[in-house]
Amino acid sequence: MSNSEAYEVPSYEGRQWWKEAVVYQVYPRSFNDANGDGIGDLKGITEKLPYLAKLGINVIWLSPVFDSPNVDNGYDISDYFAIMSDFGTMEDFDEMLETAHKHGIKILMDLVANHTSDEHPWFKESRSSKDNPYRDYYIWKDPKGFDEDGNPIPPNNWASEFGGPAWEWDEATGQFYLHIFFKEQPDLNWENEKVREDLYSMVRWWLDKGVDGFRLDAINIISKPEGFPDDPSTDFEKHTSSIPFVISNGTMVHPWMKELTRETFSRYDVMTVGETSATSPEDAKLWAGYHTGELNMIFHFDHMGVDNDPNGNLGGKWSYAPYKLTELKRILNDWQTTLEGNAWGSLYWNNHDQPRVVSRFGNDSDEFRTLSAKQLATTLHFMQGTPYIYQGEELGMTNVKFDSIEDYRDGDSIRFYEDMHVDHKRLSHEEAMQAIYVKGRDNARTPVQWDASANGGFSPEGVTPWIAVNPNYPTINAEAVLADEDSIFYHYQQLVALRRGKLKDLMVYA
């Protein structure tokens, strides 16, 4: 790696273009289907760039488009240098990037560097034998022992994010590998300098291509705790995860972030935002402090847990309790006051992993949906930090209520249903489906509703989209809001224009 002695740590104080940006997240699979195969694609994004320019945003955060078996909707990457065929080709990506830049819109890629797909060539080599040069690219451990039936016992009791043990037994080599997410997403070993060098080289390759920055997925869990201690909170029956309790914000995460910035981001004029669950406002000053030499900003999740029931019997997000407005205000205020003058923050109500904001924190009834969507938008955009709009948020899109588990596509929701209803009979079908309706990730992943035609204009008539369109698309769609000057869309447009224009000093820097 490069010599760090001559390296000048970047300062993030003062005026920065990424502080003044308004970001729009695109989840490609559900955005716009240009070729009529039921799946959103890169050409579909290019088609809608004039619409996004009309909204006024100037950055797109693009959820993963890398080649992937798609076990976790692209967050399981098998080739960092190729485009998933579902989305098109590298030429399609280049066209989208060039066209976006012509519209004054920058492109933020989604960097998944905690893990890869088990179909990635590195992992295929790694699991082929214990003496393979790529073995140490991933985290392999011997069993703790064997039970009375001769079954191997995992090295510790860590629970994966999606339920069940975070270790998978490999019969061929007689060891377990670590997967904090699905078993098809083995964790990379960041302790191995070669892993970091290969990742940094890949980041530079994309930046040289012209992308304008990265959102770093699950970046605060890359440093695992020394000795891999047990998690005292693990309860597999409650579908809990070990991330908040023992895995997040490990001892090496900040040295590695400084190294990553030195070797990549500091050489370009780019924007970076890290996904950092289980992170406090004080932690954020390390991650995104003006003089720490790490990231521009982070996503925290404190307000995303405000409707979790800590005493519930399901665990994590699945135990729901109506949120208290006073608690939501306290959390937002705590982050605003702690970061002020010390670090930059991000502002968001929802994303591809969260329920729709108007259904979650507002009122999605016909009477109050528009009013509450505008109120929530105003609240967000008048706080300090860089705001993120999730696709369809500006339309007032709502949660979706499917009747059958077969209608859902998110592996997390399907696994929850199978665990809680099918396997252990802890919940009735209706109870399990209600939990998924309230907190499931597919709420955010139904196709964008462009008009009142078949499939909401996402796919042509006669095509079956990869996931069903919300049935309310005849009344909630882009064509309808664009025809109504008092709509949610134009309220967002006005907020964006004020933030980027005559009220910039007040809304961004005050």
Residues designated as active site: 217, 275
Q: Which residue has the tokens 């204009």?
A: 457
Contact, 290 vs 11, CB < 8 A?
Answer: yes
Mode of pairing for the β-strands spanning 167-170 and 175-178? antiparallel
Tokens of 311: 């005493």
Do residues 508 and 19 make contact, with C-beta atoms less than 8 angstroms apart? Answer: yes
Locus of tokens 């019969």: 171
Locate 214 and state its tokens: 């990265």
Q: Are 384 and 403 in contact (CB under 8 A)?
A: no
Q: What is the DSSP letter of 331?
A: H
Structure tokens that stand for 49 in this block:
């760039």
The per-residue b/e assignment along 442-456, b for 16 or more CB within 10 angstroms, e otherwise, is bbbbbbbbbbeeebb
Inter-residue contact 28 to 63 (CB < 8 Å): yes
Could you report how far apart the first and last alpha carbons of the chain are, in Å? 40
- Rounded alpha-carbon distances, angstroms, from residue 430 to 316, 402, 472, 484: 19, 11, 21, 38
241 within 8 A of 207, measured Cβ to Cβ:
no
Residue 302 burial (CB count, 10 A): 18
The per-residue DSSP string of 208-227 comes to HHT--EEEEETGGGSSPPTT
**E-only strand ranges, 84-222:** 106-112, 140-141, 145-146, 152-153, 167-170, 175-178, 213-217
Name the residue among 246, 245, 258, 339 with its Cα closest to residue 295. 258
As a whole number of angstroms, the distance between CA 85 and CA 106 comes to: 23
